């Protein structure tokens, strides 16, 4: 979010295949050029590095950081690159995503430090100061050298997150300069670093190295640092907003300096004259008290996407000394206010005075901490398309691009520290750990505090910190002027100052049936469940083939077999009782294709139920639901569990079950009491609606059809009676819910496959990760449906590089046969690979004879690879149809 005038040069890297030896005599190898010119206010980002193991580059830092040092044979790696990420980029290993190839990486290679090196040119001038900025630490710790001189040792540069700002003015030379950083081995059990816990197989280097930008910033006698903007709304009114702009002005000289600090937000300008003592740093503040124009009238207010728009403002600041610019910076912000309180034990957030039901997902960074901005944008676009309003970051705070995108899209972000590593081994903290913990909290808070998408920070995950550590964090957040909710833990653990977090972490993390979510015990829909989900999420077969061998795909049918692409922990290394439930509810799969097809059904129905239950209970008078984080949103590395879309950004039954549940104006069924409800996530009431509920036997016979009027209350749920219970229902039957407006237009559609036999659970035998199932719904009738018949037409519209393919599907059966669970996909030509990512309006739809629906997919033309789009449509009882979808 913080922006100086940044010059970022992107390297076109020629990648080697192996890590060769090092010559100390040959000259340095060129990378992307980097010139540091004497221009105050300019920041240059290191565009790339050369990388080598200290087992091969055995010289000391003074030699390696000499401009004349020979780095021939070192590996070129990107600006943000852990050691393993750099080796992968250089082709040292076969595809580490595929099969068990990750096992081929020798972890012993990362038991020694690795060197990062960059040669750049500089033209230092008198009166211009240069600062070396590490925008995040070195994993696990670093040694920093410039031109043969140690800038900082490994006792100073420690941990993944602290920021550093070193004055290197005296070390710069005219001409060639060399910067070298030595990254030490990482052990998440002993270092305040990054750990992927049981989210996937672990990176063998434990993320050793650099994962954030390193920069050289220049300024004159006065530098500006950490600009921030706070906004205060006189809630419930949004008619005005008090804007406060601050920054630190730092005197870089040994004498007193008078500086004029000025700024602007659009047409509103402000300035102050400040005299700084030698080496003094002082906060410069602009408030409505000293700048009346900072009381905005009729401000453009920023909202989560469900509630309104996402207007953004930019504040610019500059410092002049003697009329000459000394430094400049800027930051983007939104006018919004977040508050939080405990409501009957559950934490409730409010945005701009309006209660905000959190329905979010747990974010997983790339396993090797690589930054792919397009991939981040694509993922958050899928999140918004799904209707999910929040992302939770458990540790692994992302780089700025994620927050920037969340700001633009209106997706809230709940950040905090991780569990199950040094971060929560509080009893082992020594003086260094205390220092690094505080530096980490302060650095991260300063980095993310301006983002309107931020909703809070958790200083603990599975455990709350004890008094001493809590004080370290709270003092650090106070220094950073953090003004959002601070929460002691993601579990129900209080801390001395913060008290009750209003969170629960009672599981499940593995299979439970749909009706589990409606019960208010354990992880069911009451209070705020900070991480819960039904475990295994099997992608479609095309996706499985991208990362599993055929034998590994076949082995998924053995539920007691350990799977490398499940978790490394014993509890989640096998499909186990997830598969048992699949067999008992849907019937034992006849083969791989049948297994994948039934998995999509199970994923769809249970994910829909989880998120619908929290939506329904939002308005309950007793023990309402206040928030839920689906565990997890995405994958760090390809797996067959814990995701709503898969590693390759494909959207299966898991995604569309969730998307159905989170439609902005939505009609739904309740698995506990068979009631119907309408959930409205907008702020305004919607009147004149009708719910049409129709019940069908599996053979297509209509058993009941009723219509009920309803007004959908804004930001609330309302009940609309119960599901009809006609006699003569087949064991497996269907319910179709249609929500219609006053004109009869369908504004929401929801189809359930249900059973006259209930799923049952043994709550008394619950563990931290599941509640055993003792009886199973009988949905086996889905396997003997009459074959359905559909017609399909498709076309594609173009707008620049954007493509929208429209697919109209009609059930043309002349009997009563339903066309069940129809999936459409866009292909790169007939028989080609699926176009990914694609944002669909809906998918996995069910139609009765005479019904028709149009599905739309948005994607990039460049992802077609030059082919004409083709569409495939198939269903559980409908053979595949293929049609061309040419651009028109």
Catalytic residue ranges: 462, 531
Interatomic CA distance for residues 612 and 589, integer angstroms? 28
**Which tokens go with 351?**
């945005």
Give the integer Cα–Cα distance in Å for 586 and 778.
7
Q: Which two tokens stand for residue 810?
A: 């009609």
Instruction: Give one word for 436, left, alpha or beta, with left for phi > 0 and alpha for psi -120 to 50.
Output: alpha
Within 10 angstroms of residue 561's Cβ, the number of other Cβ atoms is 16
Cα–Cα distance between 351 and 308 in angstroms, integer? 11
- Write phi, then psi, for 102 (nearest 5 degrees): -60, -25
- Per DSSP, the residues of 365-416 read --TT----HHHHHHHHHHHHHHT--EEE-SS-PPPHHHHHHHHHHT-EEEEE
The neighbour count for residue 423, using CB atoms within 10 Å, is 30
Q: Which ranges of 481-591 would DSSP assign to H, the alpha helix? A: 541-547, 550-555, 576-586
Helix (H) or strand (E) holding 196: none
Joined tokens for residue 526: 């009451």
Are 328 and 41 spatial neighbours (Cβ–Cβ below 8 Å)?
A: yes
Q: Please tell me whether residue 587 adopts helix, strand or coil conformation.
A: coil
Q: In what order do the strands lie in the sheet with 869-875?
A: 845-847, 819-828, 869-875, 878-884
Is the separation of the CB atoms in 724 and 626 below 8 Å? no
Structure tokens at 415: 């950040």
* Beta-carbon count within 10 A of 862 CB: 9
d(CA 119, CA 876): 60
Nearest to 857 by CA among 821, 779, 810, 804: 804
First-to-final CA distance of the chain: 41
Name the DSSP letter for residue 184: P
> Whole-angstrom Cα distance, residue 581 to residue 85?
39
Do residues 232 and 394 lie in contact, with contact meaning Cβ atoms separated by under 8 Å? no
C-alpha 9/C-alpha 435 separation (Å) is 34
CA–CA separation, 550 and 552 (whole Å): 5
How far, in Å, are 46, 142, 151 from residue 156 at the CA level?
21, 8, 10
CB atoms under 10 Å from CB of 266, counted, come to 10
Peptide bond into 813 cis (omega under 30): no
Closest by CA to 490, choosing from 515, 470, 464, 514, is: 464
Bond before 507 cis per omega within 30 degrees:
no
Sign of CA dihedral 171, 172, 176, 181: positive
Q: How far is it, in rounded angstroms, from Cα 631 to Cα 535?
A: 8
Concatenating the DSSP letter of every residue in 117-153 gives EEEEEEE--TT-EEEEEESS--BSEEEEEETTEEEEE
Gap between the Cα atoms of 486 and 414, Å rounded:
10
In angstroms, the Cα distances linking 640 to 198, 258, 537, 637 are 13, 61, 5, 10
Partners of 625 in the beta sheet? 527
Query: Do residues 781 and 732 lie in contact, with contact meaning Cβ atoms separated by under 8 Å?
Result: yes
Q: Which two tokens stand for residue 427?
A: 């009893």
Classify 625 as helix, strand or coil: strand
């Amino acid at each position: 979010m913080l922006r100086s005038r940044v010059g970022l040069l992107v390297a076109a890297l020629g990648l080697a295949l192996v890590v060769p030896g090092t010559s100390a005599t040959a000259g340095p190898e060129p990378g992307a050029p980097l010139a540091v010119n004497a221009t105050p206010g300019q920041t240059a980002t290191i565009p790339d590095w050369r990388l080598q193991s200290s087992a091969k580059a055995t010289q000391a830092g003074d030699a390696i950081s000499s401009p004349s040092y020979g780095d021939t044979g070192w590996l070129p790696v990107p600006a943000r690159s852990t050691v393993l990420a750099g080796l992968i980029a250089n082709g040292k290993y076969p595809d580490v995503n595929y099969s068990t190839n990750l096992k081929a990486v020798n972890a012993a290679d990362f038991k020694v430090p690795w060197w990062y090196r960059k040669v750049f040119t500089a033209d230092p001038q008198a009166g211009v100061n240069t600062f070396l900025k590490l925008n995040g630490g070195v994993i696990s710790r670093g040694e920093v050298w410039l031109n043969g001189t140690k800038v900082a040792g490994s006792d100073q540069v420690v941990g993944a997150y602290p920021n550093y700002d070193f004055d290197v003015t005296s070390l710069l030379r005219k001409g060639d300069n060399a910067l070298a950083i030595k990254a030490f081995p990482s052990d998440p059990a002993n270092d305040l670093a990054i750990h992927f816990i049981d989210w996937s197989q672990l990176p063998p280097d434990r993320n050793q190295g650099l994962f954030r930008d390193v920069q050289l910033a220049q300024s004159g006698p006065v530098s500006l640092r950490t600009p921030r903007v706070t906004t205060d709304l006189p809630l419930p009114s949004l008619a005005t907003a008090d804007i406060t702009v601050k920054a630190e002005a730092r005197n870089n000289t040994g004498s007193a300096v008078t500086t004029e600090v000025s700024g602007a937000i659009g047409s509103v300008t402000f300035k102050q004259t400040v005299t700084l003592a030698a080496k003094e740093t002082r906060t410069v503040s602009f408030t409505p008290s000293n700048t009346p124009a900072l009381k905005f009238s009729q401000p453009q207010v920023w909202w989560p996407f469900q509630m309104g728009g996402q207007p953004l403002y930019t504040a610019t600041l500059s410092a002049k000394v003697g009329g000459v610019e000394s430094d400049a910076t800027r930051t983007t912000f939104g006018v919004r206010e977040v508050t939080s309180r405990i409501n009957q034990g559950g934490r409730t957030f409010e945005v701009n005075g309006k209660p905000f039901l959190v329905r979010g997902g747990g974010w997983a960074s790339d396993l090797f901490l690589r930054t792919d901005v397009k991939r981040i944008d694509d993922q958050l676009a899928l999140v918004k398309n799904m209707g999910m309003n929040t992302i939770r970051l458990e540790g692994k705070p992302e780089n700025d691009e994620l927050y920037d995108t969340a700001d633009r899209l209106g997706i809230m972000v709940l950040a905090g520290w991780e569990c199950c590593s040094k971060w929560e081994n509080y009893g082992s903290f020594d003086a260094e750990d205390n220092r690094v913990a505080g530096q980490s909290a302060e650095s991260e808070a300063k980095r993310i505090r301006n983002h309107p998408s931020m909703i809070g920070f958790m200083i603990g995950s599975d455990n709350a910190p004890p008094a001493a550590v809590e004080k370290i964090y709270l003092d650090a957040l106070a220094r950073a002027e953090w003004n959002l909710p601070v929460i002691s833990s993601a579990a129900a653990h209080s801390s001395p100052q913060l008290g009750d977090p209003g969170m629960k972490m009672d599981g499940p993390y593995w299979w439970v049936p749909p009706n589990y979510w409606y019960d208010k015990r354990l992880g069911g829909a009451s209070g705020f469940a900070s991480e819960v989900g039904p475990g295994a999420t099997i992608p479609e077969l095309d996706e499985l083939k991208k990362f599993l061998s055929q034998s590994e795909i076949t082995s998924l049918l053995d539920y007691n077999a350990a799977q490398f692409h499940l978790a490394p922990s014993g509890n989640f290394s096998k499909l186990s009782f997830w598969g048992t439930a699949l067999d008992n509810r849907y019937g034992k799969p006849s083969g791989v294709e049948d297994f994948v097809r039934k998995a999509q059904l199970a994923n769809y129905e249970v994910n829909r139920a989880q998120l619908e239950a929290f939506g329904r209970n939002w308005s309950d008078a007793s023990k309402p639901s206040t928030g839920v984080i689906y565990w997890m949103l995405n994958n760090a590395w390809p797996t067959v569990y814990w995701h709503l879309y898969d590693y390759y950004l494909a959207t299966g039954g898991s995604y569309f079950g969730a998307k159905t549940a989170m439609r902005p104006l939505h009609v739904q069924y309740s698995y506990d009491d068979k009631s119907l409800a309408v959930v409205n996530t907008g702020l305004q009431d919607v009147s004149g609606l009708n719910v049409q509920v129709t019940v069908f036997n599996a053979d297509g016979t209509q058993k009941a059809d009723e219509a009920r009027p309803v007004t959908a209350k804004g930001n609330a749920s309302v009940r609309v009676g119960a599901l009809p219970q006609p006699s003569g229902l087949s064991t497996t039957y269907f319910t179709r819910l249609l929500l219609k407006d006053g004109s009869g237009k369908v504004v929401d559609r929801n189809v359930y496959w249900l059973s006259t036999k209930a799923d049952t659970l043994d709550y008394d035998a619950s563990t931290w990760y599941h509640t055993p199932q003792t009886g199973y719904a009988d949905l086996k009738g889905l396997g003997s449906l009459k074959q359905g018949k559909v017609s399909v037409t498709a076309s594609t519209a173009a707008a620049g590089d954007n493509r929208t393919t429209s697919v109209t599907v009609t059930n043309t059966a002349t009997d009563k046969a339903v066309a069940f669970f129809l999936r459409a996909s866009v292909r790169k030509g007939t028989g080609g690979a699926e176009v990914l990512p694609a944002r669909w309006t809906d998918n996995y739809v069910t139609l009765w004879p005479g019904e028709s629906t149009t599905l739309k997919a948005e994607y990039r033309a460049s992802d077609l690879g030059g082919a004409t789009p083709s569409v495939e449509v198939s269903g559980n009882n409908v053979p595949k149809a293929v049609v061309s979808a040419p651009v028109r």
